[in-house]
Amino acid sequence: MIPAAFDYYRPETMDDVIAILQEHGDDARVMAGGHSLIPMMKLRMADVPHLIDLQAIDGLSDITIEGNRITLGAMVTQHDLIAHDGLTAAAPILQETALQIADPQVRYMGTVGGNVANGDPGNDMPGLMQCLDATINLIGPDGARSVAARDYYESAYMTAREDDEVLVSVSFDTPSGGHAYEKQKRKIGDYATAAAAVQIANSGGIVASASIAMTNLSDVPVWSDDAAKALIGTSCDADAVKAAVAAMLGDIDPSEDNRGPVAFKRHVAGVILTRAITRAWSRTTSRA
Amino acid sequence: MNDMTPDREERSANLKGMGCSRKRVEDARFTQGKGNYVDDIKLPGMLHGDFVRSPYAHAKVVSVNKEAALALPGVVAVLTAEDLAPLNLHWMPTLAGDKQMVLADGKVLFQGQEVAFVVASDRYIAADAVELVEVEYEELPVITDPFESLKSDVVLRPDLDGQTEGAHGPRKHHNHIFTWEQGDEAGTNQVLDNAEVVAEETMYYHRTHPCPLETCGSVASMDKVNGKLTLWGTFQAPHVVRTVASLLSGIEEHNIRVVSPDIGGGFGNKVGVYPGYVCSIVASIVTGVPVKWVEDRMENLMSTAFARDYHMTGKISATKEGKITGLHCHVTADHGGFDACADPTKFPAGFMNICTGSYDIPVAYLAVDGVYTNKAPGGVSYRCSFRVTEAVYFIERMIEVLAIELDMDAAELRRINFIKKEQFPYTAALGWEYDSGDYHTAWDKALKTVDYDGLRKEQAERVEAFKRGETRKLMGIGLTFFTEIVGAGPVKNCDILGMGMFDSCEIRIHPTGSAIARLGTISQGQGHATTFAQILASEIGISADSITIEEGDTDTAPYGLGTYGSRSTPVAGAATAMAGRKIRAKAQMIAAYLLEVHDDDVEFDIDRFVVKGAPEKFKTMKEIAYAAYNQAIPGIEPGLEAVSYYDPPNMTYPFGAYVCVMDIDVDTGVPEIRRFYALDDCGTRINPMIIEGQIHGGLTEALAVALGQEIAYDDIGNVKTGTLMDFFLPTAWEVPNYETDYTVTPSPHHPIGAKGVGESPHVGGVPCFSNAVQDAFRAFGLRHTNMPHDHWRIWQTANKLGLHE
Amino acid sequence: MSDKMHIKLTVNGEPKEFLAEPRELLIYALREKLDITGPHVGCDTSHCGACTVTLNGKSVKSCTMFVAQANGAEITTIEGIGAPDALHVLQESFKEHHGLQCGFCTPGMITRATKLLEENPSPSEEDVRFGMAGNICRCTGYQNIVKSILAAASEINSAKEAAE
C-alpha cells in the first residue's frame, strides 16, 4: 500500500498553515498524528497533493486547566491524555475513553485534533466532546471562531470546518459528577460496535444534570438531549434508565457492517448505554 | 550397562537430544532483527513488481492500455496475458489438476485477480504505474454461492466448456469441478434407514485465510550470462517450486536454484504457486535484472490461498444407548474461480475422509462436490493436514448433535464410541489405518483434570440462575476429542504433481566431530534447526549444539516435499533418524576397527561405542569422526556421510482431548474464555518447550477462526474483510492462557515414534471453541449454529432462542 | 513523483542523511535506504505492530508515518536495543521463554516491550497484555511472550534492587 506523491509542508506558524490552505484549497490537508489520514492515503482513498504537518507549530500539544476550563490542543495525543494526572483528576472520562481507543502505539500518535476534526463516525472523541459540551476552536483566514461540538458534525466526514480552517483546540468545562465511557468492539484496534459517553451529576440522590452521547451508531455522533432529560430529576432507577435508553434509540440510526446488522447494533446500543449510565451513576453515589 | 550413572547422565544431558526443552538456535538472529526474510533481500539493480488487480468479481477484460503507465519515468515493463502467451505462461497448472490464469486472459473470475504486472525501479513508481494502467471491463453476473453456481446458466470457466471430464472424474455441470466419493454408500444408507436414532445437520465451515504475519513474495534473478535462475521466495515447498518453475519456464532444473529464506509464518498460505512468483520470474527473464514482488496485506487476504469454505451435511445413526452405527457426509466445496487446492493429487478433498474421527463407526460414506464460484482460488490447509480441520469439525459437531438427539451427555457419548486401545492398528470405515491410540486414557485424564462433573453442575446451576433472572451470562463447556492424520505421506498414495511425498535428510559429519544435516523441509517458525538437531544428537551421539541444520536451498538440500500438513517430523524427522542410523552403522565399524574387536562386539552408548562388557574401552563419536577422515581403514571408504529418503509406511495419527469453558454475555454476544485445557498426544516428544509453543499458537489461530475470522463477500463478490480492521487476528488482550497436558502413545511405524504436533491444536481447537459457544445454548434448545461466532452471530443465536424477551 | 527532500535522522545513535520523497514511509526508508531490516511490514494499516520503532521516546508504527514526518527524529529499532555480546534483558528473556517462533513479529514485539517496561516497570500480566495489544503474533498465542516480558521485568527490577 503506497500513497500517491505529495508536497510536504512543515510550517512553524499558523499563519503559514492558513496561507498554504488558501493557496491550494481542496488539494491541501493538515495532518496531526496522521493515523486517520495516512491509511486512507495508502489505500489511495484520500488524495492529498499538499500535506501540511502541524508538528512544528508551538502550543498545539498543550493541555491547559484554568479554573473550571480545560483546553486540549489539537496535537495532544491519546497517550498524553492518559498520562496527564491533572486532567485525569479533573475529567477522568478522557483517560477512560482514550484507553479504549486503538492500541498503545497508535495512541502515541493519534491526536485529539485528528480524532475530532474529520467527522469519521468511528472515532470516539467526537461523541465524548458532545457529551462534554465542548467547544471546537478553529482558525482560518478570517481569524478564530468556535463551534459547539454538538453543532460541528453534519454527516460522515462533513463538518462545520471550512477547508481553509484548522482545528487548533477543543475546550470544555470541568465535568461534574460521575462518568463512564463504555465501548463494545470486536478486538483491540477496532472501532466501536457501540460506545456511550455519559456524565451524570447527583444531588441528594437525584440526577441533577446528565449528558449522553453515543458513537458509531449514525453517520455523526449522537448526543441525545431527550436521553439526558429522561434521567434528570429521577433517582436514576431502572425505569429512568430505560426511558433514557428508549430516547437514545430514537435518535440513533446505525447501519449494517461487518460488526453486525442493525437490529443487533440497536440492541447493543441499549445494553452499552444502560451499563454506561449505571456505572456513571454508581460513581456519583460513591463520591457523594 | 544401561544404568544411568552420573557420568552417563551428564553425557546424555550434554547431547541435548530428544526429550529436552532445548532453547532455540534460531532465536539469536530473530531477537536481534537479523532474520533474513524475502523482503529483506536487496540485489543490485533490483526492480519492483506490482499488480493491477480486478475490482470486479466477474468481468470480461475488453482491453488493457498500458501506454500511460509505460510513459511514467522509472517504469520498465507492463506485462499482460498477451505478453505471457507466446511463452505459454499466461496460464499455469494448479496443484489440484486445474489450471489458473497468471494474468487475466480475456476475463476475470474474482475480485483482486491479477490483470497486469508492472515492473518499475522502485515500489513507489510501480504503485503509481498500477494506477495508470487503463483496463476496460465489461461486468458479468457474479456467483458467490456454490449451490446457485450449480444451477446457473452462467459459465464461469468457458475455457473448460464442453469438458465433461475433470482431473478427478466426470463433471456434472459447467460450474462443477469434481465429485469425490469414499466409503460404502449403499451400506451406509441401509444402516441409516433402519437405525434407532438418526441425527441430521447441515453446517457451513466458513471461508477464512491463514494470514501469516509475513505476506507472500519472491525475488527472481535471471543470470543470463550463466543461464541460471535464482528464485527466493516464501515457499513452504521450495523443491516442488523448482520443479514447477522448470516445467513452466523450460529452464532445466539444474539451472534453477530456489531458496526459501526465513519465512514469517506459513500456515498453508505459502504452499501454492502464485501468479506473483511466475511474474517475478518472467519479469526478470525479460528485463535481465532481479525483480522483487511482495504482496501487501490486502492482496494477501483477497488473492492468495483462502482456507475452508465447506458446506457440509451429515447424518449419523446410533442405537438408543448411543452406540454409533453409521455416518453419511456430503460436502459442497466452494473452490472459487480456479481449483487451486493444495492437496495430494489423488485427494481432491484432502483427507476429509478422516471424518469418522476418533470413533469406531462400522460404516460410512463421504461425497464431496467441488464447485467454481466468483471467489478467490485456494483451498489450502490452514494449519492442518489437508481438510482435517473440516473433517474434525464435522464429526465433533455431529457428535454434539447426536448427543442432543439422544438427550445424552456428550462426553459419555464420545467415550462409548471411541476406538479402543486394543483395536489399533484400526482400519476406519473410510479406509485409513490409524497407527496407534489410547483415547480412553486421554479422555479420562482430561475430564478428571477439569472436574468435568463439577463443571456440568455449575452450568446447570447457571442455567437455573439465568432463568430466575439473576444473571445474563451463560456458561458453555466445549468438548473435543480429535484424531488427526498427518505426515503425508506414503508415496504409494500421496504425491504432489507426480512427486511422491517422501522426505529427506543428508548428513555430513566433519572431521572434528561436528556435523551439518540438510533436509527437504523448511521451517516457518517450527524450530527445525533446534529439534532436528535433537533427533540427530540422540541418534548419532554428537551434541545438538555441534550440529547445523540447513533447509530451503535447493542447490544444497536434498529433494523433499516441504513443510505443511505436520509432515516435517513424521517424514523428514524419520529421514533424519534413518540417515543418523546409517552414520551410526558406519561409525560402529570404525569403532570396532579402532578398538580391535569384531563389529558385533561394540555397542552404542550415548556418545560413543564401547566394547561390550568393558565400558572402559570405548571410542567417542568425535574420535570416530576424526578417524573416518584420517585413517585408512581396510574395506571402509573414508568420510562419514549419509543420506536417507524416507517413504513413510503410513501416516501418523496424533490425537488430543480439549475442554473449553466459556462465559457468554447473552445481551452483547461477547464470549469470555474462562479456561482452556489441551491434552495432546503426539507420540514421542522431541522438545516439550516447542510442543507447548506450537499448542499455544495453534489454539490461538483456532480461537480466531471459531470466534470471528472470515473472508466474507458481498453479493457482487466484493471482499468485505480485506484489512486487519475486519479480518480478525486476536491480540494478546483477546487471548487466554492455556493449560497444556499430554499422554505419550508412540507411533509404532515411525523410527522414533513421533507423530507431529504443529497443527493438532488448530484442528482440535476450532470445534472445541465452537462447541463451547453452542453448548452454552443447549439448555435453551440450540442444536447447531454456524461459525464464526462473532458478537452479532452469538447475539442472534440468543435472540432466535427468545433470550432477549 | 514529487521532489526529494533531504532527510536527517538519528537511528540507533548514528546520524543518517539521505534523499527521499516525502511520501516514502518510514518503515521503507529504514529498511531500504538504511538497510535496517529488523522492523517488518505486516499489515500496512497500523494494526499489527511488526514495524514498531521508538521515535523520540514514543512507540510508533513506522508503516503509518511518512519519512518527511520523521525528519529530524531520533529512532531506535531492534538493531539498537542490544549487541550480540550484550543482549538486552528482553532479548534474552524471549529466547529463554520461547517468546517467538517465526520471528517476524519479534523485532516489533521486543521494541514495544522495551518501551512498555519504561512506562510501567512492574506490570501485571494484564498490563502486559494490554500494553502489547498493538503487536500481533500469529505463532505463539502470546502466552510465552507475556511470560518473557514479565520475567524480564522481574529480572530488571531485581538487578536494580541489587544495585541500590
Summarised one tens digit per residue, pLDDT across range B665-709 is 999 999 999 999 999 999 999 999 999 999 999 999 999 999 999
The reported pLDDT for the residue numbered B789 is: 98
Contacts with A193 from chain B: Cβ below 8 Å: 791-792
pLDDT, tens digit (0-9, with 9 covering 90-100), for B158-179: 999 889 999 899 999 999 999 9
Q: How far is B48 from chain A (nearest CA, A)?
A: 13
Give the count of domains, chain A: 3
- Residues A40, A72, single domain; the answer is no
Q: Is A66 on the interface with B (CB under 8 A)?
A: no
Cβ pair A235, B762 in contact under 8 A = no
- pLDDT one-digit tens code per residue, C83-127: 999 999 999 999 999 999 999 999 999 999 999 999 999 999 999
Rg, Å, chain A Cα set: 19
Q: What residue ranges do the domains of chain C occupy?
A: 5-80, 89-158
Report how far residue B704's alpha carbon sits from residue B708's, in angstroms, rounded to the nearest whole number. Answer: 6
* pLDDT more than 70, % of chain B: 100
Helices (H), chain A: 14-24, 37-42, 78-83, 85-90, 92-98, 104-109, 112-117, 125-131, 149-152, 225-231, 238-251, 262-287
Q: What are phi and psi of A247, to 5 degrees?
A: -65, -45
| Tens-digit pLDDT profile for residues B464-507 | 999 999 999 999 999 999 999 999 889 998 998 888 999 999 99
Residues 6+ positions from A26 with CB-CB distance below 8 Å: A163
Quick one: which of B786, B722, B775, B205 has its CA closest to B455?
B775
**Residue B565 pLDDT grade (very low, low, confident, very high; cuts 50, 70, 90):** confident
* CATH code of the domain containing B572: 3.30.365.10
Is the CB of residue A138 less than 8 Å from the CB of residue A161?
Answer: yes
Q: Are C39 and C31 in contact (CB under 8 A)?
A: yes
B659 within a domain of the structure (yes/no): yes
**Residue B348 corresponds to which cell in the numbers above?**
481432491
Domain range for residue B396? 307-487+651-800
Summary mean pLDDT of chain A: 96
**Neighbours, chain B (3 or more CB pairs < 8 A):** A, C
Give B378's DSSP letter: B
Distance CA B629, CA B511 (A): 6
Where b means 16+ CB within 10 Å and e means fewer, B424-444 reads: bebebbbebebbbbbbeebbe
Mean pLDDT estimate for chain C: 97
Q: How many CA atoms lie within 13 A of B201 on its CB side?
A: 25
What's the pLDDT at C1? Answer: 58
Q: Cβ of A11 under 8 Å from any chain B Cβ?
A: no
Q: What is the pLDDT of residue B498?
A: 87
| B562 contacts B258 by C-beta, under 8 angstroms | no
Angstroms from C24 CA to nearest CA on chain B: 8
A108 and C58 in contact by Cβ < 8 A? Answer: yes
User: What is the mean predicted confidence (pLDDT) over A164-169?
Assistant: 96
Q: Is the dihedral of CA B127, B128, B133, B135 positive or negative?
A: positive
Q: Is residue B400 part of a domain?
A: yes
- Do A139 and A16 meet the contact criterion of CB atoms below 8 Å apart? no
Q: How far is CA B656 from CA B353, B567, B569, B764, C42, in A?
A: 19, 18, 18, 7, 32
Q: Which residues of A touch B668 (CB under 8 A)?
A: 184, 268, 271-272
Shared-domain flag, residues B642 and B663: no
Beta bridge partners of B351: none
> Considering chain B, what is the average pLDDT of its residues?
96
Same domain membership, residue A81 and residue A159: yes
A264 shares contact with chain B (CB less than 8 Å):
yes
Residue type, A18: I
Tell me the chain B residues in contact with residue A1 when contact means C-beta distances shorter than 8 Å. 296-298
Confidence check: pLDDT of A286 > 80: no
Residue pair B438/B420 in contact by the 8 Å Cβ criterion: no
Residue C54's pLDDT band (cuts 50, 70, 90)? very high
Q: Which residue out of B383, B518, B608, B685 is catalytically annotated?
A: B383
Query: How do residues B317-363 score in pLDDT, each as one tens digit?
Result: 999 999 999 999 999 999 999 999 989 999 999 999 999 999 999 99
Share of residues in chain A with pLDDT > 70 (%)? 99
A26 and A113: one domain? no
Which residues of chain B does A103 touch, with a Cβ-Cβ cutoff of 8 Å?
731
Q: Is the pLDDT of residue A288 over 60?
A: no
Task: Spell out which residues of chain C touch residue B725, defining contact as CB-CB under 8 Å.
Answer: 45, 47
Region B512-541: mean pLDDT is: 96
ipTM, two decimals: 0.98
List the CATH number of the domain containing A227.
3.30.390.50
Query: Residue C102: which H helix or E strand, with range?
Result: none
> Coil, strand, or helix at residue B700?
helix
Same domain, A103 and A137: yes
Each residue's pLDDT tens digit, A25-80: 999 999 999 999 999 999 999 999 999 999 999 999 999 999 999 999 999 999 99
Is residue A166 domain-shared with residue A188, that is, in the same domain?
no
- The pLDDT tens digits for B116-151 are 999 999 999 999 999 999 999 999 999 999 999 999
Active site residue B236: yes
Average pLDDT estimate for A224-245: 98
Q: Which residues of B touch C152 (CB under 8 A)?
A: none
Q: Choosing from B113, B182, B759, B778, which is the catalytic residue?
A: B759
Structural domain count of chain B:
3
pLDDT tens-digit series, residues B218-270: 999 999 999 999 999 999 999 999 998 998 889 999 999 999 999 999 999 99
The model's pLDDT over A263-273, given as tens digits with 9 standing for 90+, comes to 999 999 999 99
Can you give the pLDDT at residue B2? 52
| CB–CB contact B790 A186 (8 Å) | yes
Per the CB < 8 A criterion, the answer to whether C73 and C55 are in contact is yes
Segment B576-599 shows an average pLDDT of 97
**Residue B7, CA distances (Å) to B12, B16, B19 in order:** 9, 15, 19
Q: Do C47 and A3 touch (CB under 8 A)?
A: no
- Name the grid cell of B784: 447447531
Residue B793 has pLDDT above 80, yes or no: yes
CA distances from B226 to A238, B41, B279, B284, B303 (A): 82, 21, 21, 14, 34
Cell of C116: 512498555
Cell numbers given for B291 = 525483480
Q: Are B215 and B723 in contact (CB under 8 A)?
A: no
Regarding whether B529 and B390 lie in a shared domain, the answer is no
Contact A271 B128 (CB under 8 A): no
Spatial distance between the Cα atoms of B583 and B539, rounded to a whole number of angstroms: 9
* Shortest Cα distance, chain C CAs vs residue B288, angstroms: 22
Instruction: Note the pTM of the prediction, 2 decimals.
Output: 0.97
The active-site residue, picked from B211, B216, B329, B384, is: B384
Of C1, C22, C46, the CB nearest to A35: C46
- Would you call B301 helix, strand, or coil by DSSP? helix
Q: Are strands B324-336 and B165-166 parallel, antiparallel or unpaired?
A: unpaired
Q: Let me know whether B134 and B240 are in one domain.
A: yes
CATH number of the domain to which B259 belongs? 3.90.1170.50
Domain assignment present for residue B771? The answer is: yes
User: pLDDT for A198-211, tens place per residue?
Assistant: 999 999 999 999 99
Residue B482's closest CA among B698, B786, B766, B267? B766
- B210 in any annotated domain: no
Q: What CATH number should be reported for the domain holding residue A128?
A: 3.30.465.10
> Chain B contact for C54, CB < 8 A?
no
Answer whether A38 sits within 8 Å of C60, measured CB to CB: no
> Pick from B631, B646, B661: which residue ends a domain?
B646
**B672–chain C Cβ distance below 8 A for any pair:** no
Does residue B158 have a cis peptide bond before it, meaning omega lies within 30 degrees of 0? Answer: no
| Of A137, A172, A207, the domain-final residue | A172
Dihedral angle of Cα B292, B297, B303, B309, to the nearest 10 degrees: 150
Query: Chain C, 57-76: which have a CB under 8 Å from a chain B CB?
Result: none
Set of cell numbers at residue B354: 478422516
d(CA C132, CA C108): 10
pLDDT beyond 50 at A287: no
Q: Which residue, chain included where needed, has cell 509453543?
A: B693
Active site residue B384: yes
Q: How many CA atoms lie within 13 A of B528 on its CB side?
A: 28
Indicate whether B3 pLDDT > 70.
no
Q: For position B1, what pLDDT does the model report? A: 44
Contact at CB, A267 and B799, closer than 8 angstroms: yes
* A262: containing domain: 179-287
A153 occurs within a structural domain = yes
Query: Smallest CA–CA separation between B734 and chain C, in Å?
Result: 9
Phi, psi at B173, each rounded to 5°: -160, 160
Instruction: Give tens-digit pLDDT for B40-89.
Output: 999 999 999 999 999 999 999 999 999 999 999 999 999 999 999 999 99
Say yes or no: B220 and B87 in one domain.
yes
Q: Which of A114, A148, A172 is the last residue of a domain?
A: A172
Cα B332 versus chain centre, distance: 21
By percentage, how much of chain A surpasses pLDDT 90? 98
Report the DSSP pairing between strands B324-336 and B363-372.
parallel
CA of C31: which chain B residue's CA is closest? B40
Chain C: give the shortest CA distance to residue B633, in Å.
44
The reply to whether C5-80 and C89-158 are identical in fold is no
Taking an 8 Å cut-off on Cβ atoms, the answer to whether A34 and C61 are in contact is no
Q: Which CATH class is domain C89-158?
A: mainly alpha
Give domain C5-80's CATH architecture: Roll (3.10)
pLDDT per residue as tens digits for the range B623-639: 999 999 999 999 999 99
Q: Which residues on adjacent β-strands are paired with residue B506?
A: B518, B643
Distance, CA of B259 to CA of B273 (rounded, Å): 14
Rounded to a whole number, what is the distance in Å from the CA of C115 to chain B's nearest CA? 16
